[in-house]
Amino acid sequence: MILVVGATGFLGTETCRQLTAKGKPVKAMVRSTSDGAKVGKLKSFGVELVQGDLRDRASLQAACQGITAVISTASSMPFSYQPEENNIQTVDLEGLTNLISAAQAAGVSRFIYTSLSGHMDLDFPLRHAKRAVEQRLKDSGLAYTILHPSYFMEVWLTPAVGFDAANAKAQIYGTGKNPISWISFKDVARFAVESLDNLAAQNAVFELGGPEALSPIQVLQIFEEVGRKPFEVQHVPVEGIAAQQAAATDPMQQSFSGLMVCYAQGDAIDMQETLKAFPLKLASVRDYAGSVLAAF
């Protein structure tokens, strides 16, 4: 039985879908306060539900009973963040650390953890929490796989961060000239699922990107070509983002600013060796642009 933690998030839900499509037995951990529609979607896949909360150690111990592998896609950022209770400290650091301990105690044999790209190495709370959990997992004695995905197309090329394809407007952080290996969350889920049975994934860390590294300016050009419409572009200077980060008092604001600075610096990932171990066809930015613009 495979336990998916973070199952109501978009990456966790897709992971559950892919696992059940392969006929894998899946248990999805959900909170008592989880969105009913999201829980209903998980039920439609045929997964078994178990109530649990990363902030409740006893619930994690119960959820891990009878589990052979854990896949964690959980994070407080960005959609479930609540400053006083559901935050980077309680979820991304303490919660995941407690989950690893619960998995050890329950005799779980595999643990697959979705972290951040290894190139995201600046000083911000989410990065520090993720790296601490990675080290805890490496030290746990569990057979582990750590995934380091680059920027998700479905997050960083959306209006939520200033990329508004419907209205042909985009914010670019920094010069926009540094390449990023944009990746689809669906492909990250595929790597997580494939890691369960791939010997190359045991006790390994993988940097994950899409099929090509493209600068934000090149991404804009693709959207303009596919949509046959020029974009109105606003550049956000790195100095301004750094100042915003320095002035922020909330860990999520500090972390989001840190991620924007890393975006400006670029995150090119060579996938050649990884794709030898995982021969998957990855979605491209052009694929994504076509699907997004077809909806308008």
pLDDT of residue 33: 83
Percent of the chain's residues with pLDDT above 70? 99
Average pLDDT over residues 23-32: 95
For the segment 35-86, what is each residue's pLDDT rounded down to a tens digit?
Answer: 889 989 999 999 999 999 999 999 999 999 999 999 999 998 776 767 777 7
Cβ–Cβ under 8 Å, residues 190 and 18: yes
For the segment 133-167, what is each residue's pLDDT rounded down to a tens digit?
Answer: 999 999 999 999 999 999 999 999 999 999 999 99
Q: Tell me the average pLDDT of the chain.
A: 95
Residue 56's alpha-carbon distances to 39, 96, 110, in angstroms, are: 19, 11, 22
Preceding omega of 83 cis (within 30 degrees of 0):
no
Question: Among all chains, which residue has been given the structure tokens 């990329």?
Answer: 163
pLDDT of residue 172: 96
The three-state secondary structure class of 202 is coil
For the segment 277-290, what is each residue's pLDDT rounded down to a tens digit?
Answer: 999 999 999 999 99
For the segment 231-246, what is each residue's pLDDT rounded down to a tens digit?
Answer: 999 999 999 998 988 8
pLDDT of residue 108: 98
How far apart, in whole angstroms, are the C-alpha atoms of residue 18 and residue 142? 24
pTM for the model stands at 0.95
Confidence of residue 109 (pLDDT cuts 50, 70, 90): very high
Average pLDDT over residues 208-234: 97
> What six digits make up the tokens of 216?
């934000």
Amino acid identity at 142: L
The three-state secondary structure class of 243 is helix
Asked if residue 122 has pLDDT above 80, the reply is: yes
For the segment 166-210, what is each residue's pLDDT rounded down to a tens digit?
Answer: 999 999 999 999 999 999 999 999 999 999 999 999 999 999 999
pLDDT of residue 281: 96
Question: Strand pairing partners for 233?
Answer: 170
Burial of 230 (0-12, 13-18, 19+ CB in 10 A): exposed
Percent of the chain's residues with pLDDT above 90? 90
